[in-house]
Structure 1
Amino acid sequence: MDILGSILNSMDKPPTISDKQRALMRKQREALEKREEEEKEKLRVFRNTVEDKIANLMKDDSLKKHEFEPMEKVFRGIIHDVAEVAGLVAFSIGMDGDDRRVIVYKIEFQPCEEELAALRRGEEWDPDKAKQLALQKEQEELESKTTKDFVPSCDYKEKYERLIGKESAKDAARSVLTNKQYGYVPNANKKDIRSIEQTLADLQSRKRMKLSQANAEGGNSSSQP
């Protein structure tokens, strides 16, 4: 006898399966297949129900949305799929678990981000209250921008000191920081309160002064050798 034969003879034979065990295994397999078929049929019936509700939503012009009751994830997935096929939008809201549900909207009535966020938090959506909050937020942002401390981009005191002297530079820099914007001129300073006669007189006076200076400079230059 060869070595392989001796090894095979020395090994234990595999356990045999009795007819009773085979019948039990077959029964278990059939029960599993039956449960799977029942589950498939349950999902098929549920999908048909969802399709009917979605169809009614699309046909009724008075309806904007349809809210389904809370359900398990597998059923919510079917609702999302049916809504997408129908060209609608669906959102899951509520906490995970018993309160998680789906709301299907017509495209033209889909919620804004604020409304959707409120629904997901489990809060009631109030459009009027939302508008008031939006206006309040906008007003606060506007006030924040106008009251924000001004930070100059350069040292205005040093800048003016080189041009008009140290003491005058202090006043100029203080005026710039007080007005909060470089180059700001009050409206009152923009108005010329002089009369027409005063304005013409000032112009003529400046013109005569320039002519006098020009004549003086010309006389000085001609007297030099």
Structure 2
Amino acid sequence: MGRLLLARRRRKKQEILTQIGVFLEDGTKKRVKFSPMDKIMRSIVHEVAETAGVIAYSFGSEEVDRHVVLFKKEHAPSDEELHALRNGEVYSPTSVKPTGEGATPLLGSTGQTSSKPVGPVSNYRDKYKHLISTEISEPAPLKPQPERNFGFVPSSNKRDVRSIEETLIDLRTKKKAKLEAPDDS
């Protein structure tokens, strides 16, 4: 049973390949519509269309009349055309209403704007009053200072103002002096 199903899918894939090949060869067709098919076959059509360099879209309702339409890249569908096809309508470029950026929005039935001023809904200072100071007399937060002592050694002794090179030179000289010094033990 599995072999039979695989063989059927291979044949169908070959048929789809030949249909797409004929579609690409024909210079007059801008799109081709496949008959309604199940989800697996639609996925095969989408896969073959992607490898062939053709745009594929599925339209219709699932399990009823879901079909695939292929478009050549030169004749890609517009957003309005896709919207019409998804709604099951026939697309005609003359009957499309302008809904893009160039269209003017409708401002109510009278065409007048509202006189209500646009502003923030709430004051951000009320929202963040726990973070920002609202009273003038409140002192500013203190600048963090290091502790005077870290353990038994004062922090002033822990600050080294020498550069890395100077520190390395000092370490080398101390090591040399230690190696050259005679052992008293």
For normalisation by structure 2, the TM-score amounts to 0.57
Using the TM superposition, give the Cα deviation of residue 147 of structure 1 relative to its aligned residue in structure 2, in angstroms.
Answer: 2.4
**Helix, strand or coil at the partner of 1:69:** coil
**Residue number in structure 1 paired with 2:41:** 75
Pairing 1:87–2:34 present: no
Q: Which has the higher contact order (CA 8 A, sep 6+)?
A: 2
Matched position secondary structure for 2:98: helix
What does 1:97-108 correspond to in 2, within 5 Å? 97-108=63-74
Alignment partners' CA distance in 2, 1:128 and 1:117: 15
After the TM superposition, which residues 173-212 of structure 1 pair with which residues of structure 2 at under 5 Å, given as runs? Answer: none
State the aligned residue count. 115
- Higher Rg of the two aligned structures: 1
Aligned to 2:98: 134
Whole-Å separation in 1 of the counterparts to 2:39 and 2:62: 9
What code does the residue aligned with 2:63 have?
Answer: G
Residue 128 of structure 1 aligns to a residue whose secondary structure is: coil
The structural deviation recorded for 1:59 is: 1.0
Q: CA RMSD in A?
A: 2.3
Query: Aligned runs of 1:1-225 on 2, under 5 Å?
Result: 35-130=1-96, 133-134=97-98, 138-139=103-104, 141=105, 147-151=112-116
**Distance change (3 Å), C-alpha of 1:111 and 1:150:** same
Residue 111 of structure 1 aligns to a residue in which SS?
coil
- How many percent identity over aligned positions? 32
- TM-score, normalised relative to structure 1: 0.47
| Structure 2 unmatched ranges of 5 or more | 119-185
Q: Aligned in 2, Cα 1:94/1:142: closer, same or farther, shift over 3 Å?
A: closer
Comparing both structures, which one devotes a greater share of its residues to helix? Answer: 1
Q: Deviation digits for residues 106-154 of structure 1, max 9, x if unmatched?
A: 0121211221121111111121000xx217x924x1766x72134568x
Moved over 2 A (4+): 149-153
